[in-house]
Each structure stands twice: as structure tokens, then as C-alpha cells.
Amino acid sequence: MDAYLKMTDERGRIFDPWIRTHLELGAELLNICQNSVVITASFKRWKLWLGVDLDKTEEFTPPLGLAKLEVDPANRRATYREPNVWMRYRVS
């Protein structure tokens, strides 16, 4: 997420359109939350949800996911950790 926030568009503005919009409307970038969404489940559950057989893959990024699954073959579990950005508006 750190590197992503440093990306800019052709006009030198922050790349992400949603974050850029909030900043342009006066929001303040507070912090990065590395574990905004955390989902840990068995290989069986991931196969049910996503149709992927984690016994046959070393890494997998869910469709529309922002991060790869952390695959733990020894325990037959995988964890998805998605970062997010915390922003604040001052209300007067």
C-alpha cells in the first residue's frame, strides 16, 4: 500500500481516483491499515468460495482482490489480508 500511495497519474496527482477525490474534497490521509480485512479459512472453504484448489497452487490472488492469499499447506489453511487507507474529514 505504501508504494501504491506513491503512484501518480499523468498530471502528477495521486493515482487512485477515490483517494484523490477524498483528498481534493479536503480529507486528510491518516494512516495505512495493513489488516483492514482478514479472512482465514480451510482449503476446502476457499475451494467452495472461489473454485481454486490450493493443494495445486503456491499463490493465488482472488478475483478483484488487492492481495494474494497467504497459503499454509501444512495446516491446509489460507489467509487473505487486505490493506486499506484511513482518511479523516474535519467537520466544523
pLDDT (tens digit, 9 = 90+) per residue, 6-22? 999 999 999 999 999 99
**Tens digit of pLDDT for each residue in 23-75?**
999 999 999 999 999 999 999 999 999 999 999 887 889 998 889 999 999 99
- Cβ-contact 92, 8 below 8 angstroms: no
Question: 92 pLDDT exceeds 90?
Answer: no
Q: What is the pLDDT of residue 41?
A: 97
- What end-to-end distance do the CA atoms of the chain give, in Å? 30
Q: Is 53 helix (H, G, I), strand (E, B) or coil?
A: coil
Phi first, then psi, for residue 16 (nearest 5°) are -65, 120
Quote the CA–CA distance of 10 and 32 in Å, as a whole number. Answer: 24
